[in-house]
């Protein structure tokens, strides 16, 4: 298994709560950088000059939100089930909700829910007998 956390996350491998929180922190810091850059661009376009003393405050506020989101993710991830068991239970509940495996033939094998016999198509241009005529 590779040690690259991004490759493991992309491959849906199980991550520890700390790794999931780190990914959330990186995502939050990227969003914080974008949020902090927006006032710079807006002020530069609007007034032609930038109040550089306000920029660090906006960046600090956005970064603190990112850190809080990462801490929340770490705390919530402690109770998360392992990925394999979560996928298995979700798949089982989806199969039950979809009705998979409810019908079986004599051997116990599940039967398909699609018609076995082909349905005859109505040729194009043929109107049903009960359609009103103008």
The answer to whether residue 40 is domain-embedded is yes
Write out pLDDT tens, residues 38-69: 888 888 888 888 878 877 888 888 889 889 98
The answer to whether residue 91 is domain-embedded is no
The answer to whether residue 55 is domain-embedded is yes
The answer to whether residue 129 is domain-embedded is no
Q: Which residue has the higher pLDDT, 45 or 90?
A: 45
Provide the token pair at 83: 């990925």
Residues in the chain: 134
Give me the domain span that covers residue 52: 15-81
The answer to whether residue 71 is domain-embedded is yes
At residue 39, the pLDDT reads: 80
Q: What angle do CA 70, 31, 84 make, to 5 degrees?
A: 45
At 26, the pLDDT band (50, 70, 90 cuts) reads: very high
Residue 98 clears pLDDT 60, i.e. is over it: no
The answer to whether residue 1 is domain-embedded is no
Percent of the chain with pLDDT over 90: 6
């Amino acid at each position: 298994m590779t040690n690259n956390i991004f490759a493991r996350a992309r491959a849906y491998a199980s991550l520890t709560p700390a790794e999931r929180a780190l990914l959330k922190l990186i995502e939050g810091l990227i969003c914080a950088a974008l949020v902090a850059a927006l006032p710079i661009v807006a002020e530069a376009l609007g007034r032609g000059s930038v109040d550089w003393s306000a920029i660090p405050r906006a960046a600090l506020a956005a970064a603190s939100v990112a850190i809080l989101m990462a801490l929340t993710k770490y705390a919530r991830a402690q109770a998360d089930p392992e990925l394999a068991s979560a996928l298995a239970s979700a798949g089982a509940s989806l199969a039950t909700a979809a009705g998979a495996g409810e019908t079986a033939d004599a051997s116990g094998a599940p039967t398909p829910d699609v018609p076995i016999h082909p349905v005859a198509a109505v040729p194009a241009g043929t109107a049903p007998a009960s359609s009103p005529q103008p």
